[in-house]
Chains A and B, each alone.
Chain A
Amino acid sequence: MPPEAFALRDRFKLGLEAPICLTWELTYACNLACIHCLSSSGRRDPRELSIAEAMGVIDEMAALKVFYVNIGGGEPLIRSDFFDIVDYAVDQGVGVKFSTNGTRLDKGRAEKLAGSDYVDIQISLDGADAATNDAVRGEGSYATALRAMDNLAEANFGPFKISVVMTRQNIAQLDDFEALAARYGAQLRLTRLRPSGRGADTWDQLHPTTAQQRELYQWLLDRPGILTGDSFFHLSALGDPLEGLNLCGAGRVVCLIDPIGDVYACPFVIHDDFMAGNVRDEGGFTKVWRESELFSSLREPSSAGACASCGSYDACQGGCMAAKFFTGLPLDGPDPECVFGHGEEALEAVAVELRPGPSQDHSVRTPVRLGARD
Chain B
Amino acid sequence: MPHTGGASPLEFDAQSPWRLDPKVALRDEEFGALAYHYGNRRLVFLKSRDLVEIVRSLGDAPSAHAAITAVVDAPSVPTYEAALARLAGSEIIRAA
Query: Which residues from chain A sit less than 8 Å from chain B, CB to CB?
Result: 4, 8, 11, 16-18, 20, 65, 67-68, 93, 95, 117-118, 120, 159, 187, 224-225
Contact = CB atoms under 8 A, between A and B. Distances in A.
Contacts of B30: 11, 17
A11 B31 contact: yes
Given A8-B47, A11-B31, A67 B23 contact: no
Interface of B: 1-2, 23, 25, 27-31, 34, 36, 38-39, 41, 43, 45, 47
Contact of A67 (B2, B39, B43, B45): B43
Nearest to B45: A8
Interchain residue pairs A-B with the least CB separation, the first 5: A67-B36, A65-B27, A117-B38, A11-B31, A225-B2
Contacts of A67: 25, 27, 34, 36, 38, 43
A225 to B, nearest CB: 5
A187 B2 CA distance: 9
B26 to A, nearest CB: 8
B43 A20 contact: yes
B27 A93 contact: no
Contacts of B27: 17-18, 65, 67
B25 A225 contact: no
A122 to B, nearest CB: 12
A159 B39 CA distance: 11
A8 B43 CA distance: 14
Contacts of B25: 65, 67, 93
A95 B1 CA distance: 20
